[in-house]
Chains A and B, each alone.
Chain A
Amino acid sequence: MTTNSNIESTLRVMVVDDEEMVLTSVRSFLELETEYDIVTFTDSEEALSYVRVNKVDLVISDYLMPKMNGLEFLAKVKEVDPQITRVILTGYADKENAIKAINDVGLFQYLQKPWDNDDLKIVVRNGLEKRRLMAELEQKAGEIQKAYGDLQGLHREILKAFA
């Protein structure tokens, strides 16, 4: 795998495709146009191992790959961390299947080969934004939960004091 050395807060995008040339193209474009940290894999299993130990915010996966197809791979990614935004990159022939599976796997978007760079940028940006909002939401929910817990504790103490 290849990665940019970056500070921890940088958003990380993972691209998986069995074709090296696609990876190079996507990486080159995203690195030129964005500040994200890009990691690329030709092997879906290696990619999965990476996700297990590293923070990844968005995954773009090819559909037709050896070992497992893109949907299977993204389903496994979801198991590891449901918060990661998942995008599939399909050829024409697999479009139908991909669209059908979007709901099953909970995909954020699908991109079609040959993809448009501007579309790719927008999808990635929106996907990450969604990821950020979701994380924020979760954090807020956690805070509320905690506040609620504190309140309950307080309530119990008050009751005890007056008992």
Chain B
Amino acid sequence: MSEQPNITYPQLITLYEVSRKINSKLNLPELLDETMDLAIELLHAEKGVLLLRNKTTGELEMKVARAMDKSRIADAVALVSRTVVRKVESGGQSLLMQNVPDSPGLNPNMSLIRRKIKSVICVPLRSREKLVGCIYLDTTDKQHFFKTEDLAFLEGFANLAGIAVENARNYRQVEEVNRNLESLVDERTQEVQAKHNELQSAYDQLKDTQMQLLRSEKMASLGMLVAGIAHEINTPLGAINSNTDTFSRCCGKLRDSIQDCGLEQGANAKTIDVLDNLSKVNVTAVERITKIVKTLRNFARLDEEDYKQVDLHEGLDTTLTLTAHLSRARINCVKKYGKIPQLTCYAGQLNQVFMNILVNSCQAIEGMGAITIETSHKDGAIVIAISDTGIGIAKENLDRIFDPGFTTKGVGVGTGLGLSISYRIVEEHGGRIEVESRIGKGTTFTIYLPVK
């Protein structure tokens, strides 16, 4: 049935036109529509169907069916002769039936006969030598039938279409790969961002822990140093303390004996007065040293005390009484006590914490102001927030206020030990201290103490 290609010159020109037109289409559906319309137009067919092999099922599937007026035919399945298509598919050869009614030996049940087809033509679509589909055209026009040169032309046409389909498919693939790539890049970027965030927070945490570690380490070594110093100072202090007292007693005895002997008093009495006065100064000086040693001892935790159950509100109240001389008339103390359970703790030590923070608050308030103490029980911990309306803490100092020896107060006012001692005590109770401050507005110290 198929003939040797025998293309005329005008047909070649047309094919060139066709090639130009369909190669400009990279979108596959558009390309298929255009191809079909061109084929129908050029061969004066009534309708045309283009079938392509489905890559997964291996079946030839109808991709587009067009009518002469370039409209799509909806249910085209019934309009293609499966017999014809199968023949082309299995033989790999084009098929032309110029005059269907006159063809011999046709099954009268064949769809071609039923649909009164006059002439039908079907050529394979190839890509790289492989059959990837076919173009099917037919007509019921009694006056018209497809000719052998139509077949040759359509085969040439199909060759071009095959290449164009292949190109469009490749293009689609490239596009898809591109799209995938893009979304892959997007995904990766997001992943990298998430990883980065994770790392950042891990780093922050590490830095935090390191700070804390450093702080505890500093405290521990300072504690040992302080314990040693307290011990060393004690012996000479004991001697001076005793001697000062003995001195005063000696002065008393001397004065008595001068009187008893009825000696001339003047110069001797004056000398004794000088000794006595100096001795009194020594007493005060020794008292001061003793107090410092006591503070240091406390810091180094040399004096163990009872671990017992207490109501922290009592401790806060006691401390407020003790600091009253600092705040009298000037500072309004507001208590907002919530419901809190008893806590098993070193009560004296915690009182010292309250004391240190309250003294700082009082010192931070110049003139009139307020201190608020708020307590609550949250997430298994007792929370004590002590706020003041004082001068606040500069941002650059916030990290250092818990360092031993850090003070912004004048010599003789601040030792810089209060907060570091407090930090240590709270830490030993398994809790923590947080601070929040705004320059010129005030400061809040919040103590968290877990209840076991």
Contact = CB atoms under 8 A, between A and B. Distances in A.
Contacts of B303: 92
Interface in A27-62: 28-29, 32-33
Nearest to B237: A114
Contacts of B297: 92
B302 A25 contact: no
B239 A22 contact: yes
Dominant secondary structure at the B interface: helix
B290 A114 contact: yes
A24 B239 contact: yes
B238 A22 contact: yes
A89 to B, nearest CB: 8
Most buried by A among B231, B239, B249, B250: B239
A117 interface: yes
A117 B239 contact: no
Interface residues of A, number: 20
B234 A117 contact: no
Contacts of B286: 114
Contacts of A26: 242
A113 B243 contact: no
Please classify the interface of chain A as helix (H, G, I), strand (E, B), loop, or mixed, using the class held by over half of its residues.
Answer: helix
A129 to B, nearest CB: 22
A123 to B, nearest CB: 13
Interface in A90-148: 91-93, 96, 113-117, 120
A26 B241 CA distance: 11
Contacts of A117: 242, 245-246, 249
A79 interface: no
Contact of A96 (B230, B231, B304): B304
Contacts of A21: 235-236, 239
B381 interface: no
A24 B245 CA distance: 14
Interface string B289-327: 010000001000011100000000000000000000000
A26 B297 CA distance: 25
A119 B297 CA distance: 22
28 contacts: A19-B235, A19-B239, A21-B235, A21-B239, A24-B239, A25-B238, A25-B239, A26-B242, A28-B243, A29-B242, A29-B245, A29-B249, A32-B246, A32-B249, A32-B253, A33-B249, A91-B234, A91-B235, A93-B230, A96-B304, A113-B234, A113-B235, A113-B237, A114-B240, A114-B241, A114-B286, A116-B245, A117-B249
Nearest to A19: B235
B227 interface: yes
A32 B237 contact: no
Interface in B254-295: 286, 290
Contacts of B249: 29, 32-33, 117
Contacts of A116: 245
A114 B234 contact: yes
B238 A113 contact: yes
Chain B, interface size category, equals: 20 to 34
B302 A93 contact: yes
Contacts of B302: 92-93
Interface in B207-251: 227, 230-231, 234-243, 245-246, 249-250
Interface string A1-29: 00000000000000000010110111011
A117 B235 CA distance: 15
Nearest to B228: A93
Interface string A53-76: 000000000000000000000000
A120 B246 CA distance: 12
Given A32-B246, A92-B230, 15 more contacts: A21-B235, A25-B239, A32-B249, A91-B234, A92-B231, A92-B297, A113-B235, A113-B237, A114-B240, A114-B241, A114-B290, A115-B242, A117-B242, A117-B245, A117-B246
B20 to A, nearest CB: 104
B352 to A, nearest CB: 17
Interface centre among A29, A93, A114, A117, by most chain B C-beta atoms within 10 angstroms, is A114
Nearest to B289: A114
A33 B303 CA distance: 32
A116 B303 CA distance: 19
B230 A115 contact: no
B243 A25 contact: yes
B8 to A, nearest CB: 120
Interface in B58-78: none
Contacts of B304: 96
> Quick one: which of A22, A24, A93 has the most chain B CB within 10 A?
A93
A121 to B, nearest CB: 10
Nearest to A21: B239
Given A91-B231, A92-B231, A96-B304, A29 B246 contact: yes
A88 to B, nearest CB: 14
B227 A93 contact: yes
A25 B242 contact: yes
Contacts of B234: 91-92, 113-114
Contacts of A28: 243, 246
Contacts of B240: 114
Which of A28, A113, A116 neighbours the largest number of chain B CB atoms within 10 Å of its CB?
A113
A117 to B, nearest CB: 4
B76 to A, nearest CB: 103
A115 B246 contact: no
